[in-house]
């Protein structure tokens, strides 16, 4: 007898005569098949629980080592050993989970069979999904033995690493391996119809570990590429942190020959840090070694270290004019401490220390020339610092190691170390218990800082090679500023201050003159070691206020559009005094007399005993100056046409953001008391376009004396021709960024429209076009049609500088201008196509500056890129098509040139 059980429905089955057997509450009743189809009475149904189903199975006959949990919309039990399940069927046994539309299971033999079903369009749906030990497999059909773990699978799909593996016929031989026939491996997410795949005639898959394949070939867009054939392949997979080889790239250069680049080994040392060692080798003798490590300790610190050494060989030794050999190195280290690690201390590092020509001679320099700022870096700085604050006190300290490199002249400045002790501003006269307003003396504040440094500046080779002529400078500087501020007449702010500075040095110099003959002298410098205390002080007081002016323009000229113009002027005056520390009583300065052949006379020269010291020398000559500055700001209040409330809404427009004038008058000297006059200004022509300008004027006349020397005389240009001075230099810069959204807003404003979107009340239904798309959908316009968008962005900057030098022949200043124009932009033609470019023009050289062009195409699981520097010293290009997945990063086509092949690159 066959018994049919339906969960939640009539439980029925058919006997050999075609009758249906229904298990009711009272008895087993025969019902014709049609009656079963028409019956909707559910009162006669008996729900059998999972425990009851298991109890119906004979324990003696079951080969399962654990309980089997199975369920479905419809379950048919054939005797006590076979089960058929239909609709949302699932079987859970141990760590395995099988889901499918149809499942047949034999409890005696531990066999199970599963398949999907066809829908009305003859499409296979609800296919079996088998999960074992966290790995999921999808297939059309599955026959599986729970006892042996072996299976026969048809059209299986499983995800391994970053890719998918499919196969027509697959045999699972044990828990750890699958044998496949006519399999495919792809990293394309559309694995049902991938853009590319590796066709494997036969393969063995170890889930989560690797794939070993026999003969295989590439298939792209369903077209077999038989030349891309491999006799065997090995694809490792792992979910754990592991070591492995780094495959090199290969190519050829005219000057350095064939190469293997960026090959090596990656060491997965532990969970806290790793190590990657790679190298390059060229057939003509060039080579490079690199080490890179990243480290992290959660809630404590993280950082990275990169060390590189390169040996570049170009040309042949037999041709000395074409041969060159250079050795360069680079050390880059970054370290940052987590804020949770220590509340009152911090350690950080930012080191970028390289040999002078490292950027130029780097083996892979062609990958850097696409960044115009990379090779133009003249300044590089490095620092390693430790700081600590002392809670409950105003004191803090820091220790820093500093290095600054200048690639233009190969100079290097090292500070090893620099120690700082600081006291934040305190108010020593402030009452502990405040009653009423602060008195004037309570506002007196002071701070303190001390700095100890040991520094050297010289050529990089001399310092690194330990040249004994390299002179290290050291010293200690103490600084104590005292200041306060208060208001008089309510609106005038007065700020007096006093500053004391003291320096400690360990050496001083003395200069003497050695007379070789009556007409020739030589200055000798002697250095004396000891402890020297050098101090100075100064005092100043400043006053500033703000003046407001309002102007209502003529209505006939501006109408009601302009309401008012406001001018804010900020004048400031300060008085500063410093004694003459060049007097003999201080002992900081001395003199010597030498013969000058140019003027045929004996001249007295003044020098400082601490000339060239780390923190300088107190100034020579009395200084008592009055400084003047005036800041200006002009704004206009106009009616806001975008306001739709009907009220008197206005908005401010800045006509002049700032316009500042500054100069000073030294009352302590007897001639040329006025300093240079500086003018600085900034304004906006319209939104996004700002202009910055600055100029410096010399108020005193420049001329030529009787000896033919260019000198300034104690006569102002105002006295001579009523002008403020002669222009010494002028700078002008501007920049603007423009894109399609700004253009759209501009055109709307120009046509009188508003670029502000109409607000839609919350919860209100939006009007939808016939296709059901909302008008607010960014892909559709206000009429519901798909918008055509090509996002783009263009930025430009322009700089101009003018410098003057006195020309004897013209008897006037001669000016030289330097101007540069730079622009860059991006263009997104489609969701898949993008383009970036940057270039510029040097108007002095009449040539285009460094130019870069890049085009990128997203090919779904592939990417195509083209980068080029089309002309100039760094001319190069790079065309690449590669798979996006890191697993197949070596599956690519690459064509490139190298700047090393350009004439004169290594000179």
Please measure the distance between the N-terminal and C-terminal CA atoms of the chain and give it in whole angstroms. 97
* pLDDT over 80 at 786, yes or no: no
Q: Is the pLDDT of residue 577 over 70?
A: yes
Per-residue model confidence (pLDDT) at position 755: 44
Pairing of β 257-267 and β 82-93: unpaired
Distance CA 58, CA 848 (A): 89
Q: If we measure between CA atoms, which residue out of 96, 61, 99 comes closest to residue 82?
A: 61
Q: Do residues 130 and 136 touch, judged by C-beta distance below 8 A? A: yes
Report the candidate in 62, 134, 126, 67 with the shortest Cα–Cα distance to residue 96.
134
Residue where the block lists tokens 């300060």: 574
Q: What is the mean pLDDT of residues 310-319?
A: 78
Tokens of 415: 């500070």
Instruction: Burial-class residue 17 by CB neighbours within 10 Å (0-12, 13-18, 19+).
Output: exposed
Token pair 């391994």 is found at: 160
**What pLDDT is stored for residue 28 in this prediction?**
31
Determine the Cα–Cα distance for residues 342 and 338; give it in Å rounded to an integer. Answer: 8
- 3-class secondary structure, 419: strand
Lowest-confidence pick of 239-248, 386-395, 843-852: 239-248
Q: Give the position of tokens 């092949």.
A: 901
Percentage of the chain with pLDDT > 70?
Answer: 82
Alpha helices in 678-823 (DSSP H): 717-721, 740-750
Confidence of residue 906 (pLDDT cuts 50, 70, 90): low
Q: Three-state SS string across 235-266, please?
A: EECCCCCCCEEECCEEEEECCCEEEEEEEEEE
- Residue 417 preceded by cis peptide, ω within 30: yes
Mean pLDDT of 769-781: 51
3-state secondary structure 354-410: ECCCHHHHCCCHHHCCCCCCCCCCCEEEEEEEEEEECCCCCEEEEEEEEEEEECCCC
In this predicted structure, what is the pLDDT of residue 644?
57
Residue 765 has pLDDT above 90, yes or no: no
Other beta carbons within 10 Å of 186: 22
Tell me: the pLDDT tens digits for 655-685?
899 999 999 999 988 889 999 999 999 998 8
Is the predicted pLDDT of residue 186 greater than 50, yes or no? yes
The segment with the largest mean pLDDT, out of 91-95, 318-322, 556-560, is 91-95
The pLDDT of residue 225 is 82
pLDDT single digits (tens) 603-646: 888 999 999 899 999 998 889 999 999 999 999 888 776 655 55
Report d(CA 895, CA 880) in Å as an integer. 6
Beta strand spans in 107-243 (E): 111-115, 117-118, 124-125, 129-132, 135-138, 141-145, 151-160, 163-174, 177-186, 196-206, 210-213, 216-220, 223-230, 233-236
| Chain-centre distance for alpha carbon 309 | 25
302 neighbors 317 (Cβ within 8 angstroms):
no
Is pLDDT larger for residue 281 or for residue 220?
Answer: 281
Residues of the chain with pLDDT > 90, as a percent, come to: 32
How much is the pLDDT for 638? 83
Helix or strand (DSSP H, E) at 483: strand 473-483
Q: How far apart are CA 273 and CA 266, in angstroms?
A: 12
CA-wise closest residue to 220 among 833, 893, 894: 893
Instruction: Supply the mean pLDDT for the chain.
Output: 81
pTM of the prediction? 0.68
CA atoms within 13 A on the CB side of 598: 6
Structure tokens at 758: 């109409």
List Cα–Cα distances, 726 to 705, 723, 805, in angstroms: 19, 8, 11
Give the per-residue pLDDT at 801. Answer: 94
């Amino acid at each position: 007898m066959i018994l049919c059980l339906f969960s939640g429905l009539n439980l029925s089955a058919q006997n050999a005569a075609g009758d249906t057997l229904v298990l009711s509450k009272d008895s087993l009743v025969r019902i014709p098949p049609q009656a079963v189809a028409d019956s909707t009475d559910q009162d006669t149904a008996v729900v059998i629980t999972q425990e009851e189903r298991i109890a119906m199975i004979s324990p003696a006959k079951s080969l399962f080592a654990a309980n089997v949990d199975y369920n479905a919309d419809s379950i048919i039990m054939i005797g006590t050993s076979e089960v058929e399940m239909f609709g949302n069927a699932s079987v859970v046994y141990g760590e395995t989970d099988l889901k499918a539309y149809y499942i047949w299971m034999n409890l005696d033999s531990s066999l199970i069979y599963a398949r999907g079903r066809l829908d009305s369009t003859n499409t296979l749906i609800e296919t079996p999904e088998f999960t074992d030990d966290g790995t999921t497999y999808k297939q059309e059909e599955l026959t599986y033995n729970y006892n042996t773990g072996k299976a026969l699978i048809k059209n299986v799909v499983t995800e391994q690493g970053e890719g998918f593996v499919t196969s027509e016929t697959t045999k699972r031989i044990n828990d750890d391996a699958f044998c496949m026939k006519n399999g495919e491996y792809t990293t394309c997410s559309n694995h049902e119809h991938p853009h590319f795949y590796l066709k494997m005639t036969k393969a063995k898959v170890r889930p989560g570990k690797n794939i070993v394949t026999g003969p295989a070939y590439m298939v792209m867009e369903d077209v077999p590429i038989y030349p891309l054939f491999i006799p065997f392949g090995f694809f490792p997979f792992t979910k754990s942190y592991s070591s492995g080889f780094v495959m090199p790239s290969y190519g050829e250069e005219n000057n350095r020959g064939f190469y293997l680049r960026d090959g090596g080994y990656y060491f997965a040392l532990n969970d806290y840090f790793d190590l990657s060692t790679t190298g390059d080798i060229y057939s003509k003798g060039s080579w490079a070694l690199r080490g890179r490590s990243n480290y992290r300790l959660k809630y404590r610190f993280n950082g990275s270290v990169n060390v590189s050494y390169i040996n570049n060989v170009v040309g042949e030794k037999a041709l000395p004019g074409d041969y060159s050999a250079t050795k360069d190195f680079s050390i880059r280290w970054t370290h940052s401490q987590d804020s949770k690690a220590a509340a009152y201390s911090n350690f950080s590092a930012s080191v970028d220390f390289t040999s002078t020509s490292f950027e130029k001679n780097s083996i892979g320099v062609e990958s850097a020339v696409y960044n115009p700022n990379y090779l133009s870096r003249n300044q590089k700085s490095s620092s390693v610092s430790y700081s600590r604050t002392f809670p409950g006190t105003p004191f803090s300290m820091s220790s820093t190691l500093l290095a600054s490199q200048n690639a233009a002249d190969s100079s290097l400045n090292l500070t090893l170390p620099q120690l700082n002790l600081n006291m934040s501003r305190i108010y020593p006269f402030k009452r502990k218990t405040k009653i009423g307003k602060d008195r004037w003396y309570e506002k007196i504040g002071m701070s303190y800082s001390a700095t100890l440094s040991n520094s050297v500046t010289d050529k990089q080779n001399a310092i690194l090679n330990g040249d004994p002529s390299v002179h290290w400078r050291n010293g200690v500087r103490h600084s104590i500023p005292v200041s306060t501020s208060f208001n008089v007449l309510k609106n005038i702010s007065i700020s007096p201050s006093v500053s004391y500075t003291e320096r400690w040095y360990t050496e001083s110099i003395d200069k003497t003159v050695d007379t070789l003959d009556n007409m020739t002298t030589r200055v000798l410098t002697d250095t004396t070691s000891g402890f020297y205390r050098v101090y100075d002080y100064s005092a100043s007081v400043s006053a500033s206020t703000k003046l407001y002016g309002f102007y209502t323009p003529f209505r006939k000229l501006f109408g009601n559009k302009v309401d008012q113009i406001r001018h804010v002027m900020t004048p400031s005056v300060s008085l500063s005094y410093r004694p003459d520390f060049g007097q003999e009583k201080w002992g900081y300065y001395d003199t010597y007399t030498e013969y000058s052949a140019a003027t045929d006379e004996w001249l007295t020269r003044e020098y400082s005993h601490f000339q060239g010291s780390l923190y300088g020398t107190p100034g020579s000559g009395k200084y008592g100056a009055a400084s003047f500055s005036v800041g200006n700001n002009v704004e206009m209040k106009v009616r806001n046409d975008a306001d739709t409330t009907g009220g008197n809404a206005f908005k401010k427009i800045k006509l002049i953001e700032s316009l500042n004038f500054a100069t000073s008058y030294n009352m302590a000297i007897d001639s040329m008391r006025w300093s240079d006059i500086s003018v600085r200004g900034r304004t906006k022509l319209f939104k996004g376009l700002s202009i910055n300008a600055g100029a410096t004027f010399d108020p005193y006349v420049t001329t030529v004396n009787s000896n033919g020397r260019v000198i300034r005389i104690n006569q102002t240009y105002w006295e001579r021709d009523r002008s403020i001075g002669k222009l010494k230099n002028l700078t002008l810069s501007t920049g603007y960024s423009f894109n399609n959204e700004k253009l759209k807003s501009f055109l709307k404003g120009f046509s009188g429209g508003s670029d502000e979107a109409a607000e839609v009340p919350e919860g209100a239904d939006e009007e939808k076009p016939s296709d059901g798309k909302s008008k607010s959908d960014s892909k559709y316009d206000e009429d519901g049609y798909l918008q055509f968008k090509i996002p783009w962005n263009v930025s430009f900057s322009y700089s101009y500088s003018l410098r003057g030098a006195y020309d004897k022949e013209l008897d006037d200043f001669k000016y030289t201008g330097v101007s540069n124009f730079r622009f860059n932009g991006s263009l997104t033609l489609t969701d898949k196509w993008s383009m970036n470019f940057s270039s510029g023009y040097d108007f002095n050289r009449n040539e285009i500056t460094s130019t870069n062009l890049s085009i990128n195409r997203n090919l779904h699981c592939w990417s195509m890129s083209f980068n080029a520097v089309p002309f100039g010293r760094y001319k190069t290009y790079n065309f690449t098509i590669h798979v996006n997945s890191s697993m197949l990063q070596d599956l690519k086509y690459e064509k490139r040139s190298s700047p090393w092949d350009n004439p004169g690159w290594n000179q």
